[in-house]
Amino acid sequence: MTESAPGLLLLAATPIGAVADASPRLRAALRDADVVAAEDTRRLSRLTTALAVEPTGRVVSYHEHNESRRTPELVEALVGGATVLVVTDAGMPSVSDPGYRLVAAAVDAGVRVSAVPGPSAVLTALAVSGLPVDRFCFEGFLPRKGGERARALAELAGERRTLVFFEAPHRLAATLHALAEAFGVERRGAVCRELTKTYEEVVRGGLADLVAWAEAGEVRGEVTLVVEGAPAAAAASVDELVGQVQQRAADGLRLKDAVAEVAGTHGVSKRELYDAVLAARTRP
């Protein structure tokens, strides 16, 4: 085991809406850090102004377009003994935001990594969704292209845990429609919009109802989407599912996608089901 370097990497959660949610530790870290690496320095300036905090350290940008280039520079500062604070536009860094690369590099360099916990859109949406929260998985943003999104959802169709997604408001209706096709229109969900902000809104219902709501008007603001996990499926043998795969393939779905969808729904091995489908083709 390598000894920790004298520096410290701090990941700090920032408010997802209400500035009053900022913790005293966040204020102190913004004030005292040697380097503040911000996803958007302009938004950081607005935040520090609202908090009446003046950073005493150097402020640098750290976002998806310069993350690879800037990480070595920040690691060098950490190894040299600096305290580097990472903040993103909202919530915890490295959760669908910059931060992971720097954490991994800092760990490799033997630098201590810690966090200033705080607001989280994922956990807030789960808490208010009305859906089971004892087991969940976070999927971030789904692929934008329809085919890639359909394949990703086919893989998740049998997931028993509650699912959490981020989505842009202008893509929400299309994503909800794709979810209804992949999971069934009765699967429950919750659209959580503008969490902790003045116009916070949580819309709950079956996926068909949520599609109709999203298509009825313009959706604005930050959106976190929570979807109920798959119900327990009756046990079925691989051979019994071959016909379902064949029917989906006949309807135009690629064989691998059809296998993934059926296997996910029934909780069987994709490889075993794929082999059974190929074997069925060779039977007289």
Q: Name the helix (H) or strand (E) containing 105.
A: helix 100-108
Examine the domain organization and report whether 93 and 157 are in the same domain.
no
pLDDT of residue 234: 54
pLDDT of residue 66: 95
> For the chain, how many structural domains are there in total?
3
Domain end among 103, 119, 135 = 119
76 half-sphere exposure, CB direction, 13 A CA radius: 5
pLDDT of residue 201: 97
Rg (CA), the chain: 23
Examine the domain organization and report whether 110 and 129 are in the same domain.
no
- Read off the pTM: 0.78
User: Does residue 233 belong to any structural domain of this protein?
Assistant: no
| Contact by Cβ (8 Å): 212, 201 | no
Residues 6+ apart with CB under 8 A from 128: 190, 192, 195, 202
Examine the domain organization and report whether 105 and 25 are in the same domain.
yes
User: Does residue 88 belong to any structural domain of this protein?
Assistant: yes
pLDDT of residue 1: 45
pLDDT of residue 135: 96
Examine the domain organization and report whether 144 and 242 are in the same domain.
no
Examine the domain organization and report whether 106 and 54 are in the same domain.
yes
Query: Facing residues of 12 across strands?
Result: 116
User: Does residue 189 belong to any structural domain of this protein?
Assistant: yes
Examine the domain organization and report whether 115 and 152 are in the same domain.
no
Domain range enclosing 89? 5-119
User: Does residue 232 belong to any structural domain of this protein?
Assistant: no
Give the CATH number for residue 182.
3.30.950.10
User: Does residue 250 belong to any structural domain of this protein?
Assistant: yes
Examine the domain organization and report whether 198 and 255 are in the same domain.
no
Per run of 10 residues, the mean pLDDT along the chain (length 284 residues) is 72 96 97 97 97 97 95 97 97 91 96 96 97 96 93 92 97 96 94 96 97 94 96 72 90 90 80 89 75
Examine the domain organization and report whether 23 and 10 are in the same domain.
yes
Give the CATH number for residue 33.
3.40.1010.10
| Contact by Cβ (8 Å): 196, 186 | no
User: Does residue 152 belong to any structural domain of this protein?
Assistant: yes
Examine the domain organization and report whether 34 and 105 are in the same domain.
yes
pLDDT of residue 233: 61
Q: Which two tokens stand for residue 27?
A: 């204020």
